[in-house]
Amino acid sequence: MDKALLEQTIDICRRAGDAILEVYNSSAELEVDTKADDSPVTAADLAAHRVLAPALAELLDGVPVLSEEQEMPSFEERRQWQRYWIVDPLDGTKEFIRRNGEFTVNVALIDGGEPVLGVVYVPVLDITYAGCRGGADSEAVAFKRTADGETPIRVRALQPRLDAGEPVELVASRSHGAGAVDRLVERIESAVGEVACKNMGSSLKLCLVAEGAADLYPRLAPTCEWDTAAAQAVVEAAGGTVVDEEFRLLRYNSKDSLLNPFFYVIGDSSFDWRPLLTK
């Protein structure tokens, strides 16, 4: 993939982050509306969308943009798309409202149903996670950029941690699917050993697996395709995988519904997770 395209995408995400922070840092009371699926939406979601949609449409000529904050095109229309941008202008709206900083701007480029480039930007922390696939004459790229500089990121191996008596580290949602995660934790504890579980909002959970700060993110609750595409591109470029409950790779734009199946984000896929994760 094109590193220049990745940099241009990062720049657009940072501008969307600035639009979010203007709302976040303003002293006005935050107005929260509820969407058809009962999820919250704020002026910040819409402000970020208004930065992202036109900028991405201009970036790649003729490549459509699918954003959470727009009217959804029909599957009849979408299924014609070989490449498109998929955008969640503000993932973790609940965390935004709680003002805990755990929300992200998410942009991915999908090609043939696969996320090939992704940017996850964390406005409050000014952290960027970015990744793209390699091409015929280029390697995959995955990195984390902060005000202090940029470091390549890579998922971590699990077995050496277990051999050293370290716990399996899970990340999970603050708001969704807690019961199913508790049952999974019990299963891993009885089969493998100690589990440590950290709760976090938004697509940051996938990024923690990508940067080797967690081993597994089980998502046993609904998400939409825009919630996962960007961070999946980062995870895959960093050596990890995202699979459904049958261990099939998570894919995009293959059906009428934009809901994802439940899924697992796995850092070390050389570890035999199947007995733990399949029923």
Ligand X SMILES: Nc1ncnc2c1ncn2[C@@H]1O[C@H](COP(=O)(O)O)[C@@H](OP(=O)(O)O)[C@H]1O
Q: Please state the φ and ψ torsions of residue 62, each to the nearest 5 degrees.
A: 80, 0
- DSSP letter for each residue of 133-195: --BTTB--EEEEEETTEEEE-----SHHHHHTTPPEEEEE-SSS-HHHHHHHHHHHHHHT--E
Residue 33 known to bind ligand: no
Helix (H, G, I), strand (E, B) or coil at 43: helix
**Site membership for Mg ion, residue 88 (CB under 5 A):** yes
The reply on whether position 31 binds ligand X by CB under 6 A is no
Residue 12 · residue 55 · CB < 8 Å: yes
Q: Given the rule CB under 6 A, which of 4-12, 14-22, 89-97, 120-128 is the region that contacts ligand X?
A: 89-97
Residue 274: its H or E element: helix 274-277
Determine the interface stretch with Mg ion among 54-62, 122-130, 209-217, 225-233 (rule: CB under 5 A).
225-233
> Using CB under 6 A, which residues numbered 176 to 215 contact ligand X?
176, 201-202
- 256 assigned to a ligand binding site: no
Least Cβ distance, residue 79 to ligand X (angstroms) = 21
Residue type, position 8, single letter: Q
Give which of Mg ion, ligand X, none residue 201 binds (C-beta under 5 to 8 Å, depending on kind).
Answer: ligand X
What b/e sequence results for 249-275 when a residue is b if at least 16 CB atoms lie within 10 Å of its CB, and e otherwise? ebbbbeeeebebeebbbbbbeebebee
161 binds, among ligand X, Mg ion, none (CB under 5 to 8 A by kind): none
272 assigned to a ligand binding site: no
Q: Which does 154 bind (CB under 5 to 8 A by kind): ligand X, Mg ion, none?
A: none
**Which residues form the interface with ligand X (CB under 6 A)?**
37, 39, 88, 91-93, 173-176, 201-202, 222-224, 227, 259
Binding residues for Mg(2+) are 68, 88, 90-91, 227
